[in-house]
Chain A
């Protein structure tokens, strides 16, 4: 049981290209999240989703697009990649949006934008 899988795990792309990072969960958790992790900033929320077809912005949404047509998938698209989007991206799930639930993370997608 893989839980959360992210793909690709590593990606190198060029400025201006479109990139999609995939996130798939097998648990049917309601909430899904995309974070980016950069040195000195900790994890910052990009977008999150409370259920299929419900998404909302986080702290740093600019330059990113998400969708959630199925409960188990939550892809993140960089419409026109920039060097500042070089980062490690983590997808996470949570059973509820309340304050007490554990976040479960995927293994991360390491993106380099040249």
Chain B
């Protein structure tokens, strides 16, 4: 079993829809959580950090559930430009070497 698991998708949703992804992690010592976005054949870029109390950045909302060991990303009013792969990232032990990436969830927004 992978330490960080994501549904690979693809999620194919119409423009304007709300879409949500989950990511589960297996190591309870995980301390920091992030969502990165990766466009096709490009480098990953930080979308947002995920805080214990949940956080929002415009149309994007991230939640952390430590008890069930998952994080989620909600995208409201989706745009064509949101089409990308979303990577769940977990940092264990506050250690540089313990940054674990999920395989990513592909999202495709259709007009």
- A41 contact set on B, CB distance < 8 A: 103
Interface stretch, picked from A20-28, A69-77, A78-86, A92-100, is A92-100
CB distance from A61 to the nearest CB of B (A): 11
Chain A's closest residue to B49 (CB) is A100
B residues 6-29 with Cβ under 8 Å of A? none
User: How many chain B residues have a CB neighbour from A under 8 Å?
Assistant: 25
- B31 contact set on A, CB distance < 8 A: 99
**Is the C-beta of B1 less than 8 angstroms from some C-beta in chain A?**
no
CB distance from A47 to the nearest CB of B (A): 9
A45–B97 touching, CB < 8 Å? yes
- B45 contact set on A, CB distance < 8 A: 105
B96–A42 touching, CB < 8 Å? no
**Is the C-beta of A114 less than 8 angstroms from some C-beta in chain B?**
no
A97–B32 touching, CB < 8 Å? no
A97–B96 touching, CB < 8 Å? yes
| 8 Å CB contact of A42 from B43, B94, B104 | B104
CB distance from A104 to the nearest CB of B (A): 8
- A56 contact set on B, CB distance < 8 A: 97
**Is the C-beta of B46 less than 8 angstroms from some C-beta in chain A?**
yes
Interface residues of A (CB under 8 A from B): 31, 33, 35, 40-45, 48, 50, 56-58, 90, 94, 97-100, 102-103, 105-108
